[in-house]
Structure 1
Amino acid sequence: MSTDALVVVTCSGRVRGDGTSGRGRGSATGEVRVWRGIPYAAAPVGALRFRAPQRREPWDGIRECVEFGPSAPQSASPSVPADLASAADEDCLSVNVWAPWPGRGDARPPDDASRPVMVWIHGGAYCLGSSAQPVYDGARLAWTHGVVVVSFNYRLGALGFTDLSSFGPDFDTNCGLRDQIAALEWVRDNIAAFGGDPASVTVFGESSGASAITTLMTVPSARGLFHRAIAQSPPATSVYGARRAGSVARRFLDVLGVEPDRADVLLRAVPVADLVAASDTVVDEVPTGTPGTLAMAPVVDHTLVPRYPVAAFQQGLSHPVPLVIGSNRDESSIFKFMKSPLLPVTGESVDAMLAALADDHPDLPRERIVQILAAYPGAPAARRALGVSRDAAFRMPALWVADAHSARAPTWMYRFDHATPMLRAARIGAGHATEVPYVFGNFGTLHVDPTFWLGGRRSAGEVSRRVGKRWTAFARRGVPASLDGSKHWARYDSRERATLVIDTRDSIVRDPDRELRVAWGDQALGFQ
């Protein structure tokens, strides 16, 4: 292979990658070029801790970029096991790029054309995860579909999503969200050198990564940084006001034993391990005390994030980019299976969530809560709880966004229903995040992966092939058509509500969750 093809000149200096996928997701050596751990901002340490990301100083010579950069500081979660594939460190702001060799790939462009770019934003409730997780390896997606794939790390937990701005002018709001914008600016300024088209950037992400996308679609400073968006299971209402965010910040300081009037000095001297431990305490406390809320999430600061995102969509203030959005049929099952406190999954916790929502919306007619509960008739209390939490967190926010955005830009809605026999037997079904391996084509990335213990690999492979073609066709042409005889995916609008139900066989269903949608209503219900 040519060594020169692995050296790319970025705005900060030259970087060298390697010519293998690094994880063997069906790609032989040399089929995909990959650069890992390219810094896109200065290390957010010392005086830059809790501040907006700053420009990285250029380097001399060639920087070797063959290993993933550090993950954002976080603790290993026993309820959400994940192979981060890299050690954690505050100096975590780096990007990874997968690009087919010039002239290679099934969907290769003409020699003088650039490839569409797909930028992945990982999920993890704004407190967990890493772009280095094996399931997010972009080699197969890049090679099979001829696209340039980018992923990146951003600050998580208290370091990225605690609003300390009320404790002094030296704290910036929404640091993690600002990191994401800085990464997209890096893509705009540098991706052409890797063979990507900076005028054809699609952001795609899952869970909090998808919620970040729906938020960025309403952030003025993100305008023009991406041209299409795919939001997989976005908890789009998990963006809070300054009052709620301030109470979380005060609790964070209390756990650390830091006086608010000295926060600007002391927080920069606290060891990062202590910050992570305090963040974990608050992350567990908040959804336990107020089910349905997250401790760490974007905040409406009226500067970077001027208004609640769903409200901005409904007011016609979202960026008019084409959007694919949807949720999974059994979103909440995985939270029950893992005993995670991040989502209410018992009758008591769901009742507490609905009561808190009613208190947070004093203008909400009380009969609306009764109407919502009545939409789940005949179900055992446990199953009703799973349905209510699924719809409150994921399905309804996706529908509220789709209804509003479809009047402004082309929008497509899906529901992911496919599950292997083992996942059905385990009562997980099409649970939260189970669609991610289908998107990347990466199965078997867990240390112990039971997904295919009872078969279903061939069927899953076919579903993955269709999903990959639709997602990358959308990135290439702005229309999620696979062009291989698969079911035509009609655009979504608030009249027909055509929805692609993704399963062993795809189908188009008009308004598939009509009864539930009507019960929840058009007014977005989220914690303020």
Structure 2
Amino acid sequence: MTNPSAQAPTVQTTAGWVSGLIDEELGIRSWRGVPFGADTSGALRFHAPRPADPWTGIRECVHYGEPAPQPTYSWTDRILGDEDCLHLDIVRPDNEDADLPAVVYFHGGSFVVGSSFEPVLRGTNFARELGVVYVSVNFRLGVLGYLDMRSIGDDAVATPALHDQLLALHWVQDNIAAFGGDPGKVTIMGESAGGGAVLTLMTAAGTQGLFHGAVAQSPPLAQIHSRAQSMMWTRKLLHHLALSRHAELSEIRELDAADLVRAGQSMMWRGGELLQLNSCFAPTVDGELLQSHPLTAFERGDEHPVPLIIGTNADEASFGKFIYQRMSRRTRASGRFLSVYDPAGAEAVLAAYDSATSREEFASLLADAIFWAPTVRAASAHSTIAPTWMYRFDYAPQALKMLGLGAMHTVELSAVFGEPHASRAGTLSRFGGMNGFTEVAEFMQSHWKSFLHDGQPLDSWPRYRQDGRQTMVFDSEPSLESDPKAEKRRAWEKFHMTSWGMGRPELTAELGLEVVEGLE
């Protein structure tokens, strides 16, 4: 450990003292790479995490910690990150205010990639303008975080990443007051896979009282692994590692983490399952931390009754316009991925999208299946037990409109965080006009700020209720819509989207499993 300068903000945590940075020009204080959990490598792989080991002296937290091991998607097979990855980053305004609302942010990245310190997620503008203590969390990913290995080792936990997130929330309760945050006013927030984490934590056992509000942006809530999926992907992983089907978990723990990540990528891209919405990696319903599918828990009213902002983007899966060239292939693909969940209900949903014959309707169906439809179901259910506000993000930079991508996945992050070019989608905005962005960002941040401080957005955004379904539309000119896409919503209401595998009886029979709606 090193001694900080006299100007460094120094705080005592439960594991030891940490020093950070003051940026007077930006008006913030920050602490980077603060450990909340111990190393997860070797014999500790696939276990629930342990709290960070204590240290003596003052730990200088001025550099971001290593993210979880993950692919780089470059022309090489280089792997980024380290298994000693359970760190978080904290940003707050540079003042002496205490009892500020705390925001705990979980990053997205398809459960495979991402980190707490992606440029758009560093939170400098967000913490200063919204007056909060912002905490961004790293957690395990891919094979190491979102693959249930219990079928080859009963000492594993089903979803290590979810346990990491739970440990981070306990750390916040124990430590955030020392950074000027209020442990009684914690909001969990995330986008994409991170938004899914938010909704999953709302239904998980042992999270009561750890947070008091939630913001879920573009959550893929239907992407929850059934027992059939987790067993299938574990078998495929053994195959891609060239191991016997009878291999034990101890053998996996002896392998290099980079080899596990590469094997996970190989089975994801070569498995032929993505077009059946069967991602390799996702949280698993284990009957313990997750008693049932989160969407089932929402519809039963079993989730924590905290205020919730939830929504999606208008063109989440606009890339889908370019997947298939022929109408017949689009229709067949749509029927295939719908039937995997609900063979009997697929036809009615497909009819609502004109059989997905056009590129636009196919992309819309894909986006709605992954993001919008389960989000509407969750919002509708949650609105009966707690205040709920729903949005749709329509704003798109001119470049994205010209490319036919529109308000694609992740583009709203630039507005929420007040960083116009920092998100993955936002990088394309450098090549086109950004007229109206400042107004959209200020409008969104004003609602988010009100929610984080007071538990509700500004009065101009009415609550989402089943009798009106008022939805805030964020665009250059904000507006309210009542029950957007009502016909399609009604088609999805009868569709069973909580048990992947009901349309794959040959697979579930091979695995010796019975798929039960909502419990797998």
TM-score by length of 2: 0.90
The residue number in structure 1 matching 2:333 is: 352
The residue number in structure 1 matching 2:398 is: 421
Q: When the two structures are aligned, how many residues end up with a matched partner?
A: 494
SS of the residue 2:22 aligns to: coil
SS of the residue 2:428 aligns to: coil
Distance in 2 between residues matched to 1:65 and 1:287, nearest whole Å: 43
The residue number in structure 1 matching 2:457 is: 480
Distance in 2 between residues matched to 1:142 and 1:17, nearest whole Å: 16
- Residues 126, 157 of structure 1: 8 Å contact kept: yes
- Residues 389, 464 of structure 2: 8 Å contact kept: yes
- Residues 238, 527 of structure 1: 8 Å contact kept: no
The residue number in structure 1 matching 2:129 is: 144
Distance in 2 between residues matched to 1:523 and 1:495, nearest whole Å: 21
The residue number in structure 1 matching 2:410 is: 433
Q: Aligned letter for 1:390?
A: A
- Residues 34, 96 of structure 1: 8 Å contact kept: yes
Correspondence 1:122 to 2:107: yes
- Residues 396, 407 of structure 2: 8 Å contact kept: yes
SS of the residue 1:525 aligns to: coil
Correspondence 1:510 to 2:485: no
Q: Closer, same or farther in 2 for the Cα pair 1:360/1:399, shift >3 Å?
A: closer
- Residues 131, 151 of structure 1: 8 Å contact kept: yes
Q: CA deviation at 1:352?
A: 3.5
Q: CA deviation at 1:123?
A: 0.5
- Residues 319, 363 of structure 2: 8 Å contact kept: no
Q: Aligned letter for 1:176?
A: A
The residue number in structure 2 matching 1:89 is: 82
The residue number in structure 2 matching 1:76 is: 72
The residue number in structure 1 matching 2:365 is: 388
The residue number in structure 1 matching 2:212 is: 227
Cα shift readout 1:280-310 (whole Å, capped 9, x = no counterpart): 1122244646521211000001011110010
Cα shift readout 1:346-375 (whole Å, capped 9, x = no counterpart): 8636633533543543xx53xx43322222
Q: Aligned letter for 1:355?
A: R
The residue number in structure 1 matching 2:6 is: 3
Correspondence 1:43 to 2:21: no
The residue number in structure 2 matching 1:25 is: none
SS of the residue 1:259 aligns to: coil
- Residues 400, 524 of structure 1: 8 Å contact kept: no
Distance in 2 between residues matched to 1:353 and 1:248, nearest whole Å: 23
Q: Closer, same or farther in 2 for the Cα pair 1:286/1:218, shift >3 Å?
A: farther
- Residues 286, 293 of structure 1: 8 Å contact kept: no
Q: Closer, same or farther in 2 for the Cα pair 1:461/1:403, shift >3 Å?
A: same
CA-atom RMSD in angstroms: 2.5
Distance in 1 between residues matched to 2:74 and 2:392, nearest whole Å: 29
Distance in 2 between residues matched to 1:347 and 1:521, nearest whole Å: 26
The residue number in structure 1 matching 2:198 is: 213
Q: Aligned letter for 1:449?
A: T
The residue number in structure 1 matching 2:473 is: 501
Q: Closer, same or farther in 2 for the Cα pair 1:203/1:422, shift >3 Å?
A: same
Q: CA deviation at 1:469?
A: 1.4
Q: Closer, same or farther in 2 for the Cα pair 1:313/1:165, shift >3 Å?
A: same
Match of 1:13 among 13, 16, 21: 16
Distance in 2 between residues matched to 1:469 and 1:195, nearest whole Å: 22
Distance in 2 between residues matched to 1:253 and 1:199, nearest whole Å: 45
Q: Aligned letter for 1:413?
A: M
Q: Closer, same or farther in 2 for the Cα pair 1:336/1:201, shift >3 Å?
A: farther
Q: Closer, same or farther in 2 for the Cα pair 1:526/1:282, shift >3 Å?
A: farther
Cα shift readout 1:68-106 (whole Å, capped 9, x = no counterpart): 100110111259xxxx9x951111110000011224xxx
Distance in 1 between residues matched to 2:336 and 2:145, nearest whole Å: 29
TM-score by length of 1: 0.88
Cα shift readout 1:461-504 (whole Å, capped 9, x = no counterpart): 110111111112111111111x7xxxx11100111101001111
- Residues 287, 293 of structure 1: 8 Å contact kept: no
The residue number in structure 2 matching 1:406 is: 383
Q: Which moved more, 1:32-41 or 1:281-290?
A: 281-290
SS of the residue 2:182 aligns to: strand
Q: Aligned letter for 1:453?
A: F
SS of the residue 1:234 aligns to: coil
Distance in 2 between residues matched to 1:526 and 1:282, nearest whole Å: 23
Q: Aligned letter for 1:389?
A: L
The residue number in structure 2 matching 1:333 is: 318
Q: Closer, same or farther in 2 for the Cα pair 1:275/1:41, shift >3 Å?
A: same
- What stretches of structure 2 of length at least 5 have no aligned partner? 501-520
Distance in 2 between residues matched to 1:423 and 1:30, nearest whole Å: 30
Cα shift readout 1:143-167 (whole Å, capped 9, x = no counterpart): 1121111101100000001111111
Q: Closer, same or farther in 2 for the Cα pair 1:519/1:117, shift >3 Å?
A: same
- Residues 334, 432 of structure 1: 8 Å contact kept: no
- Residues 338, 346 of structure 2: 8 Å contact kept: no
Cα shift readout 1:32-74 (whole Å, capped 9, x = no counterpart): 0000000100000111111110122110000010011001101
Q: Closer, same or farther in 2 for the Cα pair 1:275/1:194, shift >3 Å?
A: same
SS of the residue 1:384 aligns to: helix
The residue number in structure 2 matching 1:98 is: 91
Distance in 2 between residues matched to 1:250 and 1:442, nearest whole Å: 42
Cα shift readout 1:147-192 (whole Å, capped 9, x = no counterpart): 1111011000000011111112222210011111111111111000
- Residues 345, 386 of structure 1: 8 Å contact kept: no
- Residues 72, 80 of structure 2: 8 Å contact kept: no
- What stretches of structure 1 of length at least 5 have no aligned partner? 21-27, 104-110
The residue number in structure 1 matching 2:301 is: 316
Cα shift readout 1:319-360 (whole Å, capped 9, x = no counterpart): 1011111111111014667x7x9xx99863663353354354
